[in-house]
Amino acid sequence: MSGPAAGRLDHVGLNVADLEAMSEWYAAALGLGTEFRFEVPEVGLRGTMLHSPHGHRIELIHRAGNGAGLQASGPLEAALTRGFGHIALDVTNVDEAYGALIGAGATDRMSPRPSPDPGVRMAYVVDPEGNLIELLDRTTARTSTG
């Protein structure tokens, strides 16, 4: 795609119930740093922008009075609802990343296995608030095509 609307993904925004706890969890579990925190007091909105050394960013947002949205039991249930379904991370070893996230308090939704994308391994977990995270290991696919 080209033209004025084309661009590189800047960040994913995720609404959370407990901004402090989720900021700490994402920073520790995914090795993210805090880029900045912000607040819009007149509407009860607070947030934290986290960044990865690999270039991606996750914005965690909390607004007073927010309610839970989709909390799918796994990727197939998430695909039944339009809108946000999951965050996907490209990792170098899906089994290690899956184990590290489970060890950090994530919950299993799909253990590591081959993906429908040839040469790719995948897994799914949910964060402590039930948000779905996909892990993809494209190492084999990259080496076989490049």
Q: Give the pLDDT score at 3.
A: 62
| Alpha helix (H) residue ranges in the chain | 19-30, 75-78, 94-103, 139-145
Can you tell me the distance from the alpha carbon of 91 to that of 122, in angstroms, rounded to the nearest whole number?
10
Q: Measured in Å, how far apart are the chain's first and last C-alpha atoms?
A: 23
Q: Give the pLDDT score at 78.
A: 82
Q: pLDDT per residue over 85-107, tens digit each?
A: 788 999 999 999 999 999 999 99
CATH code 3.10.180.10 for 1-67: yes
Can you tell me the distance from the alpha carbon of 14 to that of 50, in angstroms, rounded to the nearest whole number?
11
pLDDT band (50, 70, 90) for residue 123: very high
Question: How much is the mean pLDDT over the chain?
Answer: 88
pTM of the model: 0.83
List, in order, residues 6 or more apart from 118 with CB less than 8 Å away.
141
Domain boundaries, the chain: 1-67, 69-146
Distances (CA, A) of 32 to 28, 36, 144: 7, 12, 30
Q: Give the pLDDT score at 96.
A: 94
Of 62 and 8, which is predicted with more confidence? 62
- Contact (CB, 8 A) for 23 and 50: yes
Distances (CA, A) of 133 to 2, 59, 67, 108, 124: 29, 15, 20, 10, 6
Domain 69-146 superfamily per CATH: 2,3-Dihydroxybiphenyl 1,2-Dioxygenase, domain 1 (3.10.180.10)
The number of CA neighbours under 13 Å toward the Cβ of 45 is 9
1-67 and 69-146: identical CATH topology: yes
